[in-house]
Amino acid sequence: MTGETAGPASAPSAVVDTHCHLDMLEDAGGAVARARAAGVAWVVTVGVDIASSERAIEAAARHPDLYATVGLHPHDAKNGTEEALAHLESLARLPGVVGVGETGLDYHYDNSPRADQRRVFRAQVRLAKRAGKALVIHTREAWEDTFATLETEGPPERLVFHCWSGSEESALRALALGATISFSGTVTFKNAAGVRASAAAIPLERIVAETDSPFLAPVPHRGRPNEPAWVRHVVEALAAVKGVSTEEAARATSENARRLFGLPLPSLLGGLSDASDTSDSPRGRTSP
């Protein structure tokens, strides 16, 4: 002991959970509080059908650090009537909504006919462009049709492939379309070497982190319902893959999330922006 008094430890850089399903958590309010305590600057809760999209908007209205997306998941594409899509468009223009989706194609489960999946995906690509919102993409065993749809329709200015599970080659195709790539707790799994290889190949400035709560809890919480507070484990794993500090990975992925969803981030992020600046925030203006 030298007798010197140590200064206060600096708080870790804030992190962002860009994709969770808060309405599926048993204790959503507690999960939000735990996320704040863990230094999660903000959370995006994601709609997969009309009802969950409305719940996401309601949750965002209750919490200033929570934002919503609205969408029809490929599993629910069979319910994508003209009326449902028109209602989805009205929801996409409400305050607190930062994205359209999750939408896309899922040929693994085929819970909706593939023709309906493609039709509803195309409709939501167009909606994201009309509303000026980020497009949140789910794709599983449907890479060629997913890319073909984006190439035919023209990708929105901002889009993200959530819960990345594709190859390095697919990652390069996604990047060529201007996409951001989101990694979930799978990047921490022992058997996910391919996911980590993709993360290694993607520039850090094109990566964001998510939990996909309540699914895919990261190590060391596997087997438990996931929650936004644990997104830091994803950021730590990405830092290890990229060979950078956790602080650098946290700041980079948070800034990437800010650009992706067009938001100012709270001052908790150490100077990225001022929480009082709502000039570009979905809470501060109506959608174009």
CA 215 to the chain's CA centroid: 13
Residue ranges of domains in the chain, CATH in brackets: 15-266 (3.20.20.140)
Structure confidence at residue 256 (pLDDT): 97
Strands (E), the chain: 15-20, 40-46, 66-70, 97-106, 134-140, 159-161, 180-183, 207-209
Question: Which pTM value belongs to this model?
Answer: 0.90
Is the model's pLDDT at 58 over the cut of 50?
yes
pLDDT tens, 191-230? 999 999 999 999 999 999 999 999 999 999 999 999 999 9
Output the CA angle 220-222-223, nearest 5 degrees: 145
Pairing of strands 159-161, 180-183: parallel
Mean confidence (pLDDT) of the chain: 90
| pLDDT of 79 over the 90 cut | yes
Judge whether residue 22 has pLDDT over 60: yes
Per-position DSSP letters for 201-232, written without gaps between them: HS-GGGEEE---TTSSPPTTSTTS---GGGHH
The residue with greater pLDDT, 127 or 282, is 127
Q: Are 206 and 158 in contact (CB under 8 A)?
A: no
Nearest to 138 by CA among 113, 115, 98, 109: 109
pLDDT value of position 266: 56
Provide mean pLDDT across the span 89-101: 97
